[in-house]
Structure 1
């Protein structure tokens, strides 16, 4: 070493400098979200289904084309800079040998298309690169792979290319569905997509009682299953919520999320509902992130009785975003199944709405001391089967109000038996679960009382407030869909104000071709509504929920609180 024209201590300095450059390369890679690691040969070979062919040949190869290693892919960076200090002595010896007249023995590599993977000679590659070399002698063993592989490709890109080729070879989707764009952006997706198609084809055969061809299964899956999910993706603009993802990426994610939600809740979840939840929970857009943070802070700081609940119209906005002109409003109904004798009335009313709307019905039973969940489920499912309504029951533990409100985000209507109306005194109001449900429920709430539920006669309490506007929207829907005889009550201490409100409702309904009777009355809302209910004897009363600030409503109550203890009809509270 002493007689070498390149001193050993200089080689040690070169190694230390190379180690510093390796640290910088790794740090920059982390900042860019990319990998600076060598590619593992065995893994890439297995994923590509590559096979070795023939013996090794000696030739010069470009150093830039060496991208991976057989067994030392964690010891060097992608640029073959050393990562471990234990390599110092061996690396320095090679660096000195480069300058010596004796030269270096050839390395051994595997070649896949345009790239190479080192089997032996890692230190030689690293030292030659640091010395400014561009090529190196190598014994090259060729490896056959079904796809191209260049030095600029990432492993994921190559694996994805191979998976797509295998998927198209298996399914012929490019030939049978030339209009379909089934592009994926991450490895592992195409095998899952092929599995979706195979499972769909299997169940088609079970239902049809005959074998289903691969062509028939693929086309039916695409039109009856894939496209409806993609429509939900487009309606909820998930490509904007998750940039960099393709529609097929989101299809796989959304269907898995939909399945997880269904398993968690114990009932079916639509693709549109799952898409809305996916965006709310996982989108990285600043607005979504702030909504999650704000919701978590409110939930942590404020007790349930002091939370303000969802803004007026949020349920309708979500519904219309999925279908601008829905053929039904109440497609999924949630009913609380107490198991008590008077609680079955709520199930009866929920079934009537489900029959009228051709809606899905989900029951929720909360365990309590002395309850028999199995008996409750058996009676619930038997009652629904007799009514011809498919239904499922979920059984949960937890606070009644919070659990119902959490479940309500997946429903279009919640049906409850009105057993305990919110009291007017402050301390009991704070403890009232019904008050918490009325304030926090994100969708319309149907409270069942003594008189039979009947959609033929509807009484709407309207004061032009945002939540009363939501009640007007539902009243118009009921009148148009079921021919309900609609009466609109507008009460105010000033008769002129009541008349203005009545005219506003009349214009709204007239534009939609709906006839109604109008009762503009001077007086406070609660007495006027009770009087109108006694006079008209409606089968349903429609009204907005709590409209004022939380503390004001808590201390002084509202029209809702003054109505519920006295009214005999079913009341639908709108948000």
Structure 2
């Protein structure tokens, strides 16, 4: 052969050398960027993915970009099928010449795994075709069945994950029992954690059924009753948009871990939707560190009594559409005998709501010893058990008002004994812990001034303000769900348009097919609220939180403070 090359062969050989130089350049770029250029070894894929069955699929036009590996020559070409060895020049050049011959070349032979292809025979033909700018090549295709599909963008480092997924599916048979399931994760080792979740689920299934549960049966039941509901919550909170490089299975594990961490730190049972909601808030990007610093600075510099608190309606942003409205009730207990009236009131509300969960809280302020906290917990749990309701009491040290407000994030309603209402003098109001609760709490507060009582009827004090509209929302809920008789009061002190305000409340309630007694009165607001509640035999007063700026209300006082000081009835304060 040497010395007798034709012109065509010489030209083809030059094309080969150009391909070799391109291959070396590709190697150099790969070293600099860390981007792999190697072909994928078919046998490694077959073993990792537990591929067994072969199915001939006949002759097809196959995209050249989808051919990513080789059976036995994965070290001889780059991922783009550039030759890596000079010794292939003659063979490569002859294939190049044959492509221009009338007879052409026979089809190559490929294995198909998922949507990716591996070369069994025809490496040089594929290399030449790519150099000629072809996009497809004819191939005899044999499909390799595997429970874990792969795509042409597969990297060798991804293969470990794919192998773990294949082993997971082999153990659970979810690809057979739930063929639409996709539980791919992005971090190695996580499938063992999913298997642990299924194993725990299997144990409890066996305890309930009094029989041994096959692992695939437990996996299918876990997928339906545990995994999918959590994934629905993940979709509801759009967590994938916040973490776009993760999968739903990744986020299922994150939410599960976050839930366990929250339960350990809070001491309460936490639902998956609560954990997902908190994770969504914690995962906010952008200005979050600055916002957190700003929040810390405000907490440090502004006295508690002058803080404005969250915006109206913030507490129910994730609750609209849920029934019951008060699924979790926070019950702070000081340990005094009168503070237990808050729990008795909470038990009544929980029963009316169909079984709310009670989250008790005892805050030990400063360096106090805290008394007999074990007895406190035992009494709380015993009372909940007697009422047939779920309840947990936790003990925490810190500022009482601040701790209650922080814990209120995990409740839909706070029920607290009103032992020390805001005073009449500005300094007394400024130092009032109860004012801090009202200002800072994200949820409604039910203040219990005396003995707990059945909440059989309610008076809504309504002035059309945003916080009063939150009171109207809650009042409508109670009137509808609890069939609670409702009186709606507007008080004209100096404002001439309050009749229109009353009509607004009427329209709102009528649109929900709810009846109420509507009262339009005149006089001092606080006194009129108390008198009207007494005249109509109401058991509960519902009103909006503070409406003026904190500084103005500390100086001048407010209707809320007056009602808290003078009312013998429970007061539900909404914001």
Tell me the TM-score normalised to structure 1 length. 0.73
CA pair 265-147 structure 1, distance change in 2 beyond 3 A: closer
In 2, Cα distance between the equivalents of 1:236 and 1:60? 44
For residues 494-505 of structure 1, the aligned pairs below 5 Å read 494=494, 496-505=496-505
Please say if residues 539 and 570 of structure 1, whose CA atoms lie closer than 8 Å, have aligned partners that are also in contact. yes
Aligned-pair CA distance for 1:295: 2.9
| Stretch moving more, 174-183 or 344-353 | 174-183
Which residue in the other structure is 1:255 paired with? 256
Which residue in the other structure is 2:408 paired with? 408
| 1:266 partnered with 2:267 | yes
Match of 2:323 among 313, 327, 335: 327
Which residue in the other structure is 1:166 paired with? 167
In 1, Cα distance between the equivalents of 2:479 and 2:232? 30
Give the superposed CA RMSD.
3.5
In 2, Cα distance between the equivalents of 1:195 and 1:443? 37
For residues 169-568 of structure 1, the aligned pairs below 5 Å read 169-284=170-285, 286=286, 291-320=291-320, 325-357=321-353, 358-367=355-364, 368-369=368-369, 371-494=371-494, 496-568=496-568
In 1, Cα distance between the equivalents of 2:173 and 2:152? 30
User: For 1:387-422, what per-residue CA distance to the aligned partner results, in whole angstroms no more than 9, with x for missing partners?
Assistant: 111211111111100110000000001110000011
SS at match of 1:159: helix
CA pair 420-414 structure 1, distance change in 2 beyond 3 A: same
In 2, Cα distance between the equivalents of 1:394 and 1:35? 52
In 1, Cα distance between the equivalents of 2:486 and 2:184? 52
Please say if residues 495 and 520 of structure 1, whose CA atoms lie closer than 8 Å, have aligned partners that are also in contact. no
In 2, Cα distance between the equivalents of 1:419 and 1:335? 14
SS at match of 1:561: helix
In 2, Cα distance between the equivalents of 1:522 and 1:25? 82
User: For 1:517-539, what per-residue CA distance to the aligned partner results, in whole angstroms no more than 9, with x for missing partners?
Assistant: 11111223212112212222311
SS at match of 1:202: helix
Please say if residues 149 and 158 of structure 1, whose CA atoms lie closer than 8 Å, have aligned partners that are also in contact. no
Please say if residues 342 and 452 of structure 2, whose CA atoms lie closer than 8 Å, have aligned partners that are also in contact. no
User: For 1:113-134, what per-residue CA distance to the aligned partner results, in whole angstroms no more than 9, with x for missing partners?
Assistant: x99xxxxxxxxxxxxxxxxxxx
Aligned-pair CA distance for 1:318: 2.1
User: For 1:105-163, what per-residue CA distance to the aligned partner results, in whole angstroms no more than 9, with x for missing partners?
Assistant: xxxxxxxxx99xxxxxxxxxxxxxxxxxxxxxxxxxxxxxx999999754542221111
Please say if residues 48 and 162 of structure 2, whose CA atoms lie closer than 8 Å, have aligned partners that are also in contact. no
User: For 1:499-556, what per-residue CA distance to the aligned partner results, in whole angstroms no more than 9, with x for missing partners?
Assistant: 1111110000000011001111122321211221222231111011112222222222
User: For 1:417-466, what per-residue CA distance to the aligned partner results, in whole angstroms no more than 9, with x for missing partners?
Assistant: 00001123222222211110110010011111225433221011111111
Specify every segment of 5 or more residues in structure 1 that has no aligned partner in the other structure, as ranges: 1-20, 39-43, 51-57, 66-113, 116-145
Please say if residues 545 and 573 of structure 1, whose CA atoms lie closer than 8 Å, have aligned partners that are also in contact. yes
Please say if residues 283 and 289 of structure 1, whose CA atoms lie closer than 8 Å, have aligned partners that are also in contact. no
User: For 1:286-316, what per-residue CA distance to the aligned partner results, in whole angstroms no more than 9, with x for missing partners?
Assistant: 3656654543443344343332111000111
Please say if residues 459 and 486 of structure 1, whose CA atoms lie closer than 8 Å, have aligned partners that are also in contact. yes
In 2, Cα distance between the equivalents of 1:460 and 1:365? 31
| Stretch moving more, 549-558 or 328-337 | 549-558
| Stretch moving more, 421-430 or 483-492 | 421-430
Please say if residues 234 and 248 of structure 2, whose CA atoms lie closer than 8 Å, have aligned partners that are also in contact. yes
User: For 1:356-382, what per-residue CA distance to the aligned partner results, in whole angstroms no more than 9, with x for missing partners?
Assistant: 111111111123445210011111111
Between the two proteins, the alignment pairs up a number of residues equal to 461
SS at match of 2:256: helix
In 2, Cα distance between the equivalents of 1:235 and 1:147? 27
